[in-house]
Amino acid sequence: VPSFTLKEIAERVGGRLVGDPGRRLAAVRPLDAAGPQDLSFLANPRYRDEALASRAGALLLRDPDRIDGRDQVLVDHPYTALAAAMTLFHPEARPAPGISERAVVAPDATLGRQVSIGPLAVVGAKAMVGDGAVIMAGVVLGDEVTVGAGSVLHPGVVVYARSIIGARVTLHAGVVVGSDGFGFGEESGGRAKIPQIGIVRIEDDVEIGANTTIDRATFGETVIARGSRLDNLVQVGHNVHIGEGSVLVAQSGIAGSTRLGRSVVVAGQSGVAGHLTVGDGAIVGAKSAVLADLPAGAFVVGHPAIPHRDWKRAQAAWRRLPDLLRTVRRLEALLETAAPAPAATPRRSGPVRRGTRRRARKA
């Protein structure tokens, strides 16, 4: 097991060392699990009490959160520093470059330098794999697929022909890129399957979770823009455009031709209907159904999704509906006792009563 001094760690994460530069640390662990040999971290001030109680040998934290008397490294961005420290202790295990003899690589495919192609992977005709990319066991790249430099495709990924995958992209196991969109036209004669002649383009620095599916465009491109993160089991329909830095949480789905702006967040199990536009920075709460365009910065939830505040109020009122029904019935009874007087005419029967009957009959 490798170990590092606090000084080495501070240098690696670009932070300011407070305490013993020679203290040796052997792992990164969360506050409650860390012991004297471990580095831990405080990224969210909410956990300050746990940090105070932690037995960690040293801490990564922001200057305003510093804890007197502890060995620590002060940083501006504790998550970024944490990531850097974790990579120091637990370097990512990339397979060594090389082409497995057990892979099937088309003779006219183009492979960059330091590429790794795992056993039983298939690289199609005229496919291009960029420098340092890792194509793991059992991946299938269709003809003319492009994979950018440094990207990692985990086992079982399938990329349909002509798809374009950028640099430093991670596709987790079982991801399908470029499957046929659900494109058919309904007309009097029945349902016609429209050939899907477009492609999928995944830009740089995108990460896509296990078993997620991304359909190619009918015409043109389905696009997942730079820096977006899709979780597991997400569905992206044909001709969808996901803006830069957006986040789609597990089991969410975006229907065909919808455009999401930059930094949109769609929480778990939510869906956005087709042919819509969602503005930059909009947030869709969990298990919601967006059925109309959303302006930038919107925060919606529910089915149909409405502004979060409205939803919370309506939802709270909804729980009190049975009480409300009872109250209204009581008021009705009271009023129908009290109210006959309104017009001076002493009508015994009349509109009110007939109304009551009519309603009763209809119900």
Residues in 241-300 that interact with a second copy by CB under 8 A: 245, 249-251, 253, 255, 268-269, 271, 273, 286-287, 289, 291
**347 lines the binding site for a second copy (CB under 8 A):** yes
Pair 273, 288: CB distance under 8 Å: no
Considering only residues 231, 258, 260, 281, which one is a binding residue for a second copy as defined by CB under 8 A? 231
Cβ proximity to a second copy: between 296 and 333 the closer is 333
Q: Give the residue with the Cβ less far from a second copy, 3 or 87.
A: 87
Q: How many CB atoms lie within 10 A of CB 308?
A: 17
Q: Quick one: which of 25, 62, 21 has its CA closest to 41?
A: 62
Task: Kindly tell me which residue out of 16, 90, 94, 113 binds a second copy, with binding defined by CB under 8 A.
Answer: 90
Q: Which of 26, 25, 58, 31 has its CA nearest to residue 44?
A: 31
| Near a second copy by CB under 8 A: residue from 46, 49, 107, 319 | 319
Which pair of structure tokens corresponds to residue 344? 């001076």
Is 210 one of the binding residues for a second copy (CB under 8 A)?
Answer: yes
Residue 290, exposed/middle/buried by CB under 10 A (0-12, 13-18, 19+)? buried
Among 15, 174, 243, 261, binds a second copy (CB under 8 A): 174
Q: Is 2 in the site for a second copy (CB under 8 A)?
A: no
Q: Give CA angle at 116 (111, 163), nearest 5°.
A: 55
CB 203, CB 221: distance < 8 Å: no
Among 182, 204, 276, 277, interactor with a second copy by CB under 8 A: 182
Q: Could you say which of 132, 150, 156, 243 contacts a second copy (CB under 8 A)?
A: 156
Measure the CA–CA gap between 321 and 281, rounded to whole angstroms: 34
Which CB atom, from 99 or from 306, has the smaller least distance to a second copy?
306
* Residue 350 interacting with a second copy (CB under 8 A): yes
Q: Which stretch binds a second copy (CB under 8 A): 9-17, 63-71, 275-283, 308-316?
A: 308-316
- Provide CB contacts within 8 A for 306, sequence distance 6+: 300, 314
275 in active site: no
Report the alpha-carbon distance of residue 13 to residue 83 in Å, rounded: 9
Closest C-alpha to 50, from 31, 66, 64, 69: 31
Q: Counting contacts by CB under 8 A, is residue 361 touching a second copy? A: no
Q: How many residues make contact with a second copy (CB under 8 A)?
A: 134
State the Cα–Cα distance between residues 161 and 178, nearest whole angstrom. Answer: 7
Identify the bridge partners of residue 152 per DSSP, sorted by sequence position: 134, 170
Question: Exactly one of 154, 238, 303, 308 is catalytic; which is it?
Answer: 238
Tell whether residue 97 is a contact of a second copy (CB under 8 A): no
- Asked if 321 is part of the footprint of a second copy (rule: CB under 8 A), the reply reads yes
Residue from 131, 143, 280, 293 that binds a second copy (CB under 8 A)? 143
User: What's the token pair of residue 274?
Assistant: 């087709």
3 binds a second copy, rule: CB under 8 A: no
Select the span of 3-11, 107-115, 211-219, 276-284 touching a second copy (CB under 8 A).
Answer: 211-219
Separation CA 9–CA 90 (nearest Å) = 13
CB of 110 to a second copy, least distance (A): 19
Report the C-alpha gap between 175 and 202 in whole angstroms: 13
Does 352 sit near a second copy (CB under 8 A)? yes
Smallest distance, a second copy to C-beta of residue 276, A: 12
Report the catalytic residues: 238
